Amino acid sequence: EHLISRFNQPFSLDGVAHYSTPSIGVTVFGDNDVHSAEELLKRADMAMYQAKSAGRNTQRFFDPQMQAQVNARAHLESDLRHAIHDGELQVYYQPVMNGHGRLLGAEALVRWRHPGRGLVMPIEFIDLAEQTGLIVDLGTFVMRTACEQLAAWAGNPFTECLTIAVNVSPRQFRNAGFVDEVLSIFDETGADPSKLKLELTENLLLGDVNETVCRMRELKERGVGFSLDDFGVGYSSLAYLKRLPLDQLKIDRSFVNDVLSDVNDAVIVRTILALAHNLELEVVAEGVENAGQVDFLVSNGCERFQGYHFGRPVPIGEFERLHGFASCA
Ligand code: C2E
Ligand code: CA
Ligand code: CA
């Protein structure tokens, strides 16, 4: 604590005032379980990373649970590496509907069929995939699967107008080959680019926005649509909202969830709907779970809905059966 408080006081380097917000990792030794200096430093390092992720300018002590977490993560990473190549990933589809209950399309959501752990949800592995770069291969798999599905739906009057939305993480979007890869997936699968929507999140805006806009334009020229996912929870710069060539906003489900019970959430949702309307953007309300929420959203001008009230994410066979066009696939 003393070290941290001293670092927080400004000090002068070459006449320029500096201050520092250190993250300090501490490990205690003296018992028999540490066998080498290297091991000791590794523990201090782990504790330091905990201090960083606790917001910096703080200290953390190593504890064995940290070690267990690091080990579990290492296991998960190596399992995920195999999963991508061994066909353990699967794409589920969740319906997007209009206010009359007509199906407009689906969002593609990845699932991992782990041989030992069963069905693993994205919350358990997307961040890890993003941090390790595995997201690039994972994303390619989801994109290709979605495009194959669009191609399979084309030419059938029941399904040819459906769109599929695919989530694209910042690292995947910024990967140098991203645009070319998407274009070659169109060529390989024969999917109509105008039926594909790419869902981006606001944390993409923390990077080079000009570059982001360029990439979006290249894909837009081919007809690809863009949606800003989880709108309202992140960076939400209205200036960027104007600069990005977007087609759609998705209202984050945390606002929709409490729209009937929390006045603030109701105001936020109304404001987002008005904003999108003025900017001529489509809006999808996410996480719609009951008819009361639908009524509120409809009466405030929302025309697109996604959530358990309309259907959960399911494998493609079930999706087609539920929506009554299994025989057309
Ligand atoms: P998201 O893009 O916001 O996707 C919507 C999430 O909300 C999905 O969770 C969906 O199952 C869930 N959801 C839908 N309707 C409701 C509802 O009525 N109530 C509640 N409580 N939840 C609802 P899921 O499938 O677990 O995915 C979580 C997140 O993982 C996604 O959030 C997305 O950020 C990420 N993700 C999923 N698939 C992919 C992918 O292929 N690539 C990338 N980069 N990220 C993905
Ligand atoms: Ca999404
Ligand atoms: Ca979302």
Summarize pLDDT for 63-118 with one digit per residue, the tens.
888 888 888 888 999 999 999 999 999 999 999 999 999 999 999 999 999 999 99
Query: In this structure, are residues 240 and 219 in contact, taking their beta carbons and an 8 Å threshold?
Result: no
What is the reported pLDDT for 328? 42
Give the type of residue at 102. Answer: R
Give the type of residue at 71. Answer: N
Say whether 162 sits in a helix, a strand or coil: coil
Band (pLDDT 50/70/90 cuts) for residue 33 is confident
Band (pLDDT 50/70/90 cuts) for residue 329 is very low
Pairing of strands 16-18, 11-13: antiparallel
Residue 198 CA, chain-centre distance (Å), reads: 11
What is the reported pLDDT for 36? 87
Q: Is the CB of 23 under 6 A from ligand 1?
A: no
Residue minimizing CA distance to atom 2 of ligand 1:
167
Looking at all shown ligands, the one closest to residue 232's CA atom is 3
Looking at all shown ligands, the one closest to residue 251's CA atom is 3
CA 46 to ligand 3 centroid distance, Å:
32
Distance CA 220, CA 193 (A): 9
How many CB atoms within 10 Å of residue 32? 6
Pairing of strands 196-200, 118-120: unpaired
- The minimum-distance atom of ligand 1 relative to the CA of 289 is 18
Give, in degrees to the nearest 5, the angle at Cα 307 between 303 and 310: 75
3-state SS of 169-210 is: CHHHHHCCCHHHHHHHHHHHHCCCHHHEEEEECHHHHHCCHH
Q: Cα Rg for the chain, rounded, in angstroms?
A: 24
Distance CA 201, CA 216 (A): 13
Q: Is the CB of 201 under 6 A from ligand 1?
A: no
Query: In this structure, are residues 24 and 51 in contact, taking their beta carbons and an 8 Å threshold?
Result: yes
pTM, to two decimals: 0.86
What letter would DSSP give residue 233?
S
What is the reported pLDDT for 58? 93
284 closest CA partner among 225, 220, 218, 223: 225
Distance CA 185, CA 189 (A): 6
Q: Is the CB of 28 under 6 A from ligand 1?
A: no
pLDDT of 61 strictly over 60: yes
Distance CA 135, CA 50 (A): 24
109 compared with 237, residue with greater pLDDT: 109
Query: In this structure, are residues 206 and 178 in contact, taking their beta carbons and an 8 Å threshold?
Result: no
Q: What is the mean pLDDT of the chain?
A: 93
| DSSP E strand boundaries for the chain | 11-13, 16-18, 23-26, 58-61, 89-98, 103-114, 118-120, 163-167, 196-200, 225-231, 248-251, 282-285, 304-305, 314-315
What is the reported pLDDT for 327? 43
pLDDT of 160 strictly over 50: yes
Query: In this structure, are residues 213 and 244 in contact, taking their beta carbons and an 8 Å threshold?
Result: yes
What is the reported pLDDT for 282? 97
Query: In this structure, are residues 198 and 225 in contact, taking their beta carbons and an 8 Å threshold?
Result: yes
Band (pLDDT 50/70/90 cuts) for residue 236 is low
Give the type of residue at 232. Answer: G
Distances from the Cα of 103 to the Cα of 107, 112, 246, 316, angstroms: 12, 26, 22, 15
Task: Produce one character per residue of 37-48: b if its CB has 16 or more CB atoms within 10 Å, e if not.
Answer: eeeeebbbebbb
Say whether 300 sits in a helix, a strand or coil: coil
CA 287 to ligand 3 centroid distance, Å:
8
- The minimum-distance atom of ligand 1 relative to the CA of 250 is 3
- Indicate the range of 64-78, 96-110, 289-303, 307-321 predicted with least confidence: 64-78
pLDDT of 222 strictly over 90: yes
Give the type of residue at 121. Answer: M
Say whether 7 sits in a helix, a strand or coil: helix
